[in-house]
Amino acid sequence: MPLAAEPDDALEEGENQQLLLATKGGPALEGLVVGSYCHDVLIRGGRVVGETLGGAAAFVSNVLDAASPREEEQEAAPFVVVSKVGRDFAYASAPAPARRPPLLCASPTTSFHAQFSEAAASAHAPDRELRRVRACDPIYPADLPDRRFAYGLAVGVAGEVLPETLERMIRLCRAVLVDAQALIRAFDGDGAVCHVSLEDTPYARLLPRVAFLKASSEEAPYVGVETARRRCCVIVTEGRDGCRLCWDGGEARVAPFPAVQVDPTGAGDSFLAGFAAGLLWGLSATDAALLGNFFGAAAVSQVGVPTFHPKMLQAVKEILEDKTTKRSSPCINGTTFTLEKSNMHDELHTALQETVRLMSEQQQADPANGNGGDICST
């Protein structure tokens, strides 16, 4: 599938061609993540049961830092986050800081209240109603860095990624991956989250210039998968059933990984970041979706932005290094994507599944030194 990003005449020709960021550990592909950090308040029975850092940018940067390929000397994966918060932002420093500094503005930080069902088995059961109670300023095209990037992720959660901002991303990035919630989310008079048809938004005309569009099974009817797949590759995440990729002329289903769900917040964001990391490792789109499913499952086992066990991350890195030894270059830096699964797809799934099993056994054997729910468990 061809990529639709196009050169920007406002940038120097040499800068258009240079998509590698020189880092201490050697050249690496630089990414651009656009979407705001949020305050998430978890409520049950009219009582606040938790407050956490939220927003897709927080979950995405967490997984990209954990899973992206880089040299050992590199302290962090090379990507830029453009996010806006107010001066009331509660996570600018430890113990749970935002991984990339946001832009400060006069309006308050975007805040969501997640109301969980009284009938739920636990305070963090998946049955919930999301309500936006405060909204920060949108992200404008002028807020984006004026240089080229290898890839971009548009991951708004509260309408902050404007159509003109997404268009600017497409011009700056060789490949753009978009979360459908950035395009179709709307809010009623009380701030409750609802959805609109993608075809009725200004974003629809941009789809042919997008590489991948991710939607949850709940969002898929508003995206119009059969129409959208003729313009770009659409990925529909289906929770415990894994995900499916749909493109013009083809479709693939990708198996899930077992998970004990504690809080569903950030599962889709973690999936998209894991998927992007898979492309950076040189996997085909369908193979990369395995890594997306893996990190999506890992994310739901904790409340808020998850902390991944170092041994788990090391095991995943070793698997990817073994499976991608012969890759010529990251798929995300090419002019086309390979969408179909490779002949190592099943082996990759088995290896990642084994990592889940071993980490789960280790946690059960030594709960005090386990991961505290950092990974999905059987």
CA-to-CA separations, 93 to 115, 302, 305, 328, 357, in angstroms, rounded = 27, 20, 15, 39, 34
Q: Token digits for 108? A: 């308050």
Which pLDDT band holds residue 376 (cuts at 50, 70, 90)? very low
CA-to-CA separations, 354 to 110, 253, 259, 312, 364, in angstroms, rounded = 39, 20, 13, 11, 15
Say what the pLDDT of residue 27 is: 47
Which pLDDT band holds residue 118 (cuts at 50, 70, 90)? low
CA-to-CA separations, 133 to 54, 68, 358, in angstroms, rounded = 14, 34, 41
Q: Spell out the domains of the chain, with CATH numbers in brackets.
A: 13-368 (3.40.1190.20)
pLDDT at 291 over 50: yes
Say what the pLDDT of residue 330 is: 58
pLDDT at 277 over 70: yes
CA pair distance 21, 29, nearest whole angstrom: 6
Say what the pLDDT of residue 121 is: 42
Please indicate whether residue 88 is annotated as part of the active site: no
Whether residue 364 contacts residue 309, with contact meaning beta carbons closer than 8 Å, is answered with no
CA pair distance 350, 363, nearest whole angstrom: 20
Cα dihedral 43, 162, 284, 79 in deg (nearest 10): -80
Percentage of the residues of the chain whose pLDDT score is greater than 70: 80
Say what the pLDDT of residue 98 is: 78
pLDDT at 164 over 80: yes
CB-based burial label for 213 (10 Å; 0-12, 13-18, 19+) = buried
pLDDT tens per residue across span 309-327:
888 999 999 999 988 865 5
Q: What is the DSSP letter of 373?
A: S
CA-to-CA separations, 333 to 131, 213, 242, in angstroms, rounded = 38, 18, 26
In the chain, the N- to C-terminal Cα span, in Å, equals 36
- Mean local confidence (pLDDT), 38-65: 91
Looking at per-residue pLDDT, the higher value among 374 and 56 belongs to 56
- H-run or E-run covering 79: strand 79-82
Say what the pLDDT of residue 369 is: 43
Looking at per-residue pLDDT, the higher value among 139 and 42 belongs to 139
- Mean local confidence (pLDDT), 37-60: 91
pLDDT at 50 over 90: no
CB-based burial label for 167 (10 Å; 0-12, 13-18, 19+) = middle
Q: Which residues, 6 or more positions from 237, have their beta carbon under 8 angstroms from its beta carbon?
A: 214, 215, 216, 217, 243, 267, 268, 271, 292, 296
Say what the pLDDT of residue 25 is: 36
CA-to-CA separations, 74 to 282, 318, 345, in angstroms, rounded = 19, 17, 29
**65, 179, 269, 287: which is the annotated catalytic residue?**
269
Whether residue 43 contacts residue 129, with contact meaning beta carbons closer than 8 Å, is answered with no
Output the average pLDDT for the chain.
84
